[in-house]
Amino acid sequence: MKIILVSHGSFSKGLLESVQMIIGEQKGIIAYGLYPQETTDDLVAKLESEIVKDENEECLFLSDLFFGSPFNAVVRLMQKYDLYHVTGVSMPLVLEAALARNSGATPEEVCNKIVEISRDSVKDIKKLLAEEVK
């Protein structure tokens, strides 16, 4: 399974670099950004070329912002290709996706896992620490 990170600007590339710093180089995880000088059509073309490189490989897209332009580019491609797509990507989700993929999970299992852990990945630390003091 190929994991394709898609974001505004270089956010996805930074996520990939950070994940690889923690768990090592990850083959089959690619990062694409949409930059001010590009259109959504430009991004769609880049992503589509990544999909067709190996049409037999399943693709999981992780996009940054629900209803953002990178999200919309992937949704357009979903009308033509059988793709998996989770939005609201963060470093914990990319880490979990990479580890689950590396352990043999299917794209559907990876999607389910990262959506599940996303519910517990954002914490208000001030509140958490205050509760521990009580």
Question: What's the pLDDT at 132?
Answer: 81
Note the pLDDT tens digit of each residue in 13-42.
999 999 999 999 999 999 999 999 999 999
Q: How many domains does the chain have?
A: 1
Output the pTM of the full model: 0.93
Q: What is the CATH number of the domain that holds 72?
A: 3.40.50.510
Tell me how far apart the alpha carbons of residues 101 and 95 are, in angstroms, rounded to a whole number: 10
Tell me how far apart the alpha carbons of residues 14 and 128 are, in angstroms, rounded to a whole number: 28
Contacts of 57 (CB under 8 A, 6+ apart): 1, 2
Question: CA-CA distances (angstroms) from residue 130 to 44, 70, 120, 122?
Answer: 46, 38, 18, 16
Note the pLDDT tens digit of each residue in 54-110.
889 999 999 999 999 999 999 999 999 999 999 999 999 999 999 999 999 999 999
| Residues spanned by the domain of 40 | 2-133
User: Which pairing describes strands 29-34 and 59-63: parallel, antiparallel, or unpaired?
Assistant: unpaired
